[in-house]
Amino acid sequence: MSNMMDNSMKANTIIFFLFLAFSTCYGQGQIQFCKTCKQPIGWCNYLGKHPTGSKMSPFDIAMKKGKEFYGKYDYASAIVYYKGLLSKFPSHSAEIKKEMDKCNKIVSFQKKYTAMTPNLAASLKKYKVVDNVGDGLVPVEKNGLCGFINLKGEIVIPCKYKHINSFSEGLAKVMNEEGQTAFVDTIGNISIPFSNGEFGRYFHEGFVGVKTKEGMGFMNKKGEISFSGKVHVYNYDCVFSEGVTSVMVRDNVYAYVNKLGEYVIKPFQAWDAKPFFQNVAPVRININGKVRAALIDKSGAVLKSFEDYFEIGSFSEGLVYMGYAHRGNSKKFKVVFVDKDGKSVLELPYHQCGNFRNGLAYFDKPVSNGWKYGYIDNSGKVVINAIYDYACDFSEGFALVNKGNKWGLVDRFGNCSISYK
């Protein structure tokens, strides 16, 4: 009697599980069959032969293998590989073509900006990146000395300097171990000899700021100082745009001067003053007793002020970033990007953002122990997740990033190579 009951229970159990198994096989009125043994999928699941979800299909395995090329930044080889899959898995052609389109976009970008490649990624592992890419060269450091590699990962200027900055307009500022400064060209020749002078970091519109006995001067690429002594400043980083640069005359006082050192806008109270773009410049000035963001013209007249914003970036790709003023302890974050007319184009719930370069701008996100940085596109969509401890604006297809106290480069698709230390 007991055996009969046991057999009956077993039979009922089998029937129950078969019912469940086959009930999961119906898709639009048809039973689905296992591609491995050609039996109904529900029957395979019951017997545990090829349970769905626990083993990858041949197609999934093939696609996973294709994505191994991504880790090597070899998207061109991935495209060739996926083309071979089209004949093997014709029923999955739409999925394969979608992945091929993604790779084609990256390859196209690699041709335009030279995005991350296997050789560059491998080379960056050997160095610490110290500044953004400029004129196709990466400033790097190894064993305490600095030099430049190209975007193929090849050394162009040996690591022999104590400090360097990015190339700008064909020249880069370098410092020797004696603390003297010079400017070199893109193959390492000394264009402006070493001296004990104090200079700005980058050339803009053919000039760099320089300290003189009389005050501030502007030096051209031949090492000639165009004027001297009319302006006394704290900072020698001049950024000429439309023939004009802002200069900090003293604490919280700025002016705008031309390349002859003549005032375009006389000294005025400000907490920051950025370069002009189409005759409009972002500044931080006193608005009704509060430091707020504003836009001014070349006469110094305020075109528009922003009561709710007090941080500013520089105009880039037609937009300028402004940071929310009413944060307090509420952690209420907001940034806005406006055009030269002061019209809000993009409003986002972030604490801070960078300037749009190569179509992307960094943003920060609060975490338990500080901030993490990622990148958005000009629609506000997050394209690189906030995983970095520090991030810079993009330049020539790459951005300088920090993760775990290590420095490296990330491209627009999130491909990153971090230095060895």
- Cα gap 15→12, rounded to integer Å: 5
145 pLDDT above the threshold of 90: yes
Taking the C-alpha atoms of residue 301 and residue 308, their distance in angstroms, rounded to an integer, is 20
| Residues 202-225 pLDDT 10s | 999 999 999 877 777 899 999 998
Q: Round to the nearest angstrom and report the end-to-end CA distance of the chain.
A: 76
- Residue with structure tokens 């009956």? 8
In tens, the pLDDT along 3-44 reads 444 555 454 544 444 444 444 444 444 556 665 555 555 545
Q: How distant, in Å, are the alpha carbons of 31, 32, 41, 88 from that of 52?
A: 15, 11, 8, 21
Sign of the CA dihedral with 62 first, then 65, 70, and 76 last = negative
- Cut 0.85: pTM above it: no
Amino acid at site 325: A
Residues 166, 181: Cα–Cα separation, whole Å: 14
State mean pLDDT over 135-139: 96
